[in-house]
Amino acid sequence: MNKDAINMDQSQAANSAQTLQSLASGPSSSSVAKLSGSSRCIPSDKDFHFYYNFDEFKNPIQEITKKSQSMLETIGTSAHGWGKEMPFTEDVYDAYDWLVNVNDELFERFDVSVEEFQTIRRKEGETEKPISTLQDSENGFQLVYGI
């Protein structure tokens, strides 16, 4: 291996470490979006375990892990939003099932809201008047499913 290849590998590792550090230090919402877009730069399998030996890689990964864990625990404990408490689990296999269940619940609620919106739009189209003038209700959108 020549010096140029070694220098290129070191610069790629430095860029990856810098990207991970910036992800870990940003606000959570933008961190998630950035993480999703830049996940291709994170090594996998044997490469991940190799890079995890270096603090420049390990520290940002640990920070991202802590923030992700905190976010998922917050989602799980927000019983007001879900109508029930769905605590996040430590077990990897159970965590996957938990995430699938949360995702299903979210899409189901979204589907119900879209159907309700379409029903209201159809009624408005039939009467050619906005529903708000047909009913004595508050103006604006209100999610009524699950509350």
- Please check whether residues 19 and 40 belong to one and the same domain: yes
Range of the domain at 25: 1-77
- Only one residue has tokens 């509350």, namely 147
Name the domain boundary from 77, 102, 128: 77
Average pLDDT over residues 113-122: 90
State if pTM tops 0.75.
no
Asked if residue 120 and residue 98 are part of one domain, the reply reads yes
Over residues 50-72, the mean pLDDT reads 88
Q: Which residue has the tokens 């159809």?
A: 122
How many structural domains comprise the chain?
Answer: 2
CA separation for the pair 138, 51 (Å, rounded) = 56
Q: 46 and 100: one domain?
A: no
What is the enclosing helix (H) or strand (E) of 136? none
Query: What integer is the mean pLDDT of 31-47?
Result: 72
- Check whether 64 has a pLDDT greater than 80: yes
Q: In this predicted structure, what is the pLDDT of residue 87?
A: 82
E strand or H helix at 138, and its extent? none
